[in-house]
Amino acid sequence: MTDHDRRTSLFIDGLRNAHAMEKQALSIMTPQVARIVNYPEVADRLRAHIDETEGQIARLDEVLRGFDTSASMLKDTGLSLSGSMAAVAHSVAGDEILKNSFANYAFEHFEIASYKALITLGEDCGLASVSMLQQSLDEELRMAAWIDETLPTVTRRYAELYAGEGPGEAKA
């Protein structure tokens, strides 16, 4: 196996990991958006990012098909399950909206790092498919920036609801 073949194999593994990561993102965001009541701007942005994430999965599928392969069902299932468990764990917290915001911020940065690494590998292999990955990276950067910009607003809204109505009304 040549150095180029090994790098391409590493790139394909990274694509499968990114596919599973995006499936995990869906399993985290979907239950969150269903539970949000007092933060409509968060729910709206999560819905939009769910749509973007579905597009990212489609792009990853397309790149994988270009290598005559597909995503790993085992990785997809495992990470989706762990994402669902994280969503359930936060749902019982009194400050669910804050915990979700913190976790989403961290997860967006994990995705950003993953796409940056994939793009680097793809460029080093001379692959044209990096433009599709760049589109996904740009979406993740915008989502991370949105969370960063709105975290003070969400925090203040939570504090207002908590102070006025108690934790039961403030959390979602």
User: What is the pTM (predicted TM-score) of this model?
Assistant: 0.86
Dihedral angle computed from the Cα positions of residues 97, 172, 41 and 103, in that order, rounded to the nearest 10 degrees: 20
pLDDT, position 73: 65
Answer yes or no: is pLDDT of 120 > 80: yes
pLDDT at 1: 81
Q: What integer pLDDT is reported at residue 3 of this predicted model?
A: 87
Domains and CATH numbers, the chain: 3-170 (1.20.1260.10)
- CB neighbour list of residue 101: distance below 8 Å, 6 or more residues apart: 42, 147, 151, 154, 155
Whole-number Å distance between alpha carbons of 21 and 18: 5
The owner of tokens 């994402």 is 83
Residue 166 Ramachandran class (φ > 0 left, ψ -120 to 50 alpha, else beta): left
List the single range of 72-76, 129-133, 143-147, 150-154 with lowest mean pLDDT: 72-76
Measure the CA–CA gap between 15 and 69, rounded to whole angstroms.
10
**pLDDT, tens digit (0-9, with 9 covering 90-100), for 54-92:** 999 999 999 999 999 877 565 545 555 554 455 555 444
DSSP assignment string, 141-154: HHHHHHHHHHHHHH
Token readout for 168 is: 């039961």
